[in-house]
């Protein structure tokens, strides 16, 4: 009989937490006992997993006793307190917040990119930023084949990356805009997101880049190669689900578009969607029920000697959050680390 595990999902009532439960079920993860956890206000409510109702408990001291793997979808402040507590109580933590990503004692992992880093975990594994995850899934095969020197990336990110309030805000603002021709008060962002594009995600930092943009720089260096230079611009667009990225890549070795297409076609977790003659290319609307990272518009950059352009689309709640976390847990098991 296959071994099963006691799995806690922290933030089980949230957008990502709900998707984590769905992903665990969809991938038939070996859950023997589910421990759904959330804030005190949600304690006593229930979630459904594999046709069975499970009661939500408060995420606090004592909640992780007997838990093998705890998958966190909580904010960084909550994770800072609860993740070490969970480890102390015997669980391995896979954390989806930004709290542990750049901690040198915590692996930051995309299983298709650097699964070996799980081998040195000390109880907490960090899930990368959603925009970094999909970029590195696409970059890894290219870097292995030709060594990437520099990346210039522009992201077009869905509102679900900001949570349920932003999802509701887009709907409400769009309705108001269509009914009255204007939005009276932006609900989540500094400006209305309906029928708009906002080149500002997270807080501005030194040099005029945002915290979201620096995440892509620092996480790429930590997971893929410290020598890769990354220049990002992150934009919020009025799409519910699915982040899109325009990626310009400079490599040490020459690769043709055909060679890149062949590499990506064989790479794990990638779907090449690239037939421009028939107007076939990835779009965020295609990512709603898609676990794979879609890559298209593969073409050479004719302005430099060794350049490639990609258009990459992935569901930010799935691969960008819940799915990657569950895949990390699966990889922990397959490597004998649980």
Q: State residue 223 phi and psi, 5-degree precision.
A: -95, -40
Compute the distance between CA of residue 132 and CA of residue 129 in angstroms, rounded to an integer.
5
What's the Cα-to-Cα distance from 296 to each of 15, 182, 204, 311, 314, rounded to whole Å? Answer: 28, 35, 31, 5, 12
| Annotation says 42 is catalytic | no
What's the Cα-to-Cα distance from 105 to each of 44, 100, 121, 124, 222, rounded to whole Å? Answer: 35, 9, 7, 9, 12
Dihedral angle computed from the Cα positions of residues 298, 300, 301 and 305, in that order, rounded to the nearest 10 degrees: 150
Active-site annotation holder among 121, 130, 143, 234: 130
Of 40, 47, 103, 125, residue with least CA distance to 329: 125
Of 310, 318, 306, 334, residue with least CA distance to 127: 318
Active-site annotation holder among 42, 121, 143, 243: 243
Of 53, 77, 54, 75, residue with least CA distance to 8: 54
Give the three-class secondary structure for 152: strand
Compute the distance between CA of residue 2 and CA of residue 330 in angstroms, rounded to an integer.
14
Compute the distance between CA of residue 15 and CA of residue 80 in angstroms, rounded to an integer.
20
The three state secondary structure string of 200-215 is CCCCECHHHCEHHHHH
Q: Which two tokens stand for residue 192?
A: 């209305």
What's the Cα-to-Cα distance from 209 to each of 13, 110, 128, 150, 196, rounded to whole Å? Answer: 33, 24, 19, 17, 20
| Annotation says 130 is catalytic | yes
Contact 248/301 with Cβ under 8 angstroms?
Answer: yes
Residues marked as catalytic: 130, 243
């Amino acid at each position: 009989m296959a071994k099963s595990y006691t799995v806690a999902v922290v933030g089980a009532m949230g957008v990502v937490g709900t998707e984590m439960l769905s992903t665990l079920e969809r991938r038939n993860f070996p859950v023997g006992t589910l421990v759904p956890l959330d804030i005190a206000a949600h304690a006593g409510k229930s979630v459904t997993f594999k046709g069975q109702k499970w009661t939500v408990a408060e995420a606090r001291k004592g909640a992780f006793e007997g838990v093998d793997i705890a998958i966190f979808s909580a904010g960084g402040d909550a994770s800072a307190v609860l993740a070490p507590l969970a480890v102390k109580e015997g669980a391995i933590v896979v954390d989806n917040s930004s709290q542990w990503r750049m901690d040198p004692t915590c692996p930051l992992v995309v299983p298709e990119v650097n699964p070996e880093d799980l081998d040195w975990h000390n109880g907490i594994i960090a899930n990368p930023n959603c925009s970094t995850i999909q970029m590195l899934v696409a970059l890894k095969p290219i870097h292995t084949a030709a060594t990437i020197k520099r990346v210039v990336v522009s992201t077009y990110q869905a509102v679900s990356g900001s949570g349920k309030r932003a999802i509701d805000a887009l709907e409400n603002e769009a309705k108001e805009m269509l009914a009255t021709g204007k939005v009276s008060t932006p609900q989540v962002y500094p400006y209305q997101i309906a029928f708009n594009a906002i080149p500002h995600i997270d807080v501005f930092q030194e040099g005029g880049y945002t915290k979201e943009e620096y995440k892509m720089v620092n996480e790429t260096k930590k997971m893929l190669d410290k020598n890769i230079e990354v220049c990002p611009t992150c934009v919020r667009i009025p799409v519910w689900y699915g982040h899109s990225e325009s990626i310009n890549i400079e490599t040490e070795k020459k690769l043709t578009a055909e060679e890149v297409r062949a590499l990506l076609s064989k790479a794990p977790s990638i779907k090449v969607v690239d037939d421009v003659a028939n107007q076939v290319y990835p779009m965020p609307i295609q990512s709603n029920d898609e676990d794979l990272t879609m890559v298209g518009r593969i073409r050479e950059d004719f302005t430099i000697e060794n350049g490639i352009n990609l258009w990459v689309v992935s569901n930010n709640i799935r691969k960008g959050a819940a799915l990657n976390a569950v895949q990390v847990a699966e990889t922990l098991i397959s490597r004998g680390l649980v």
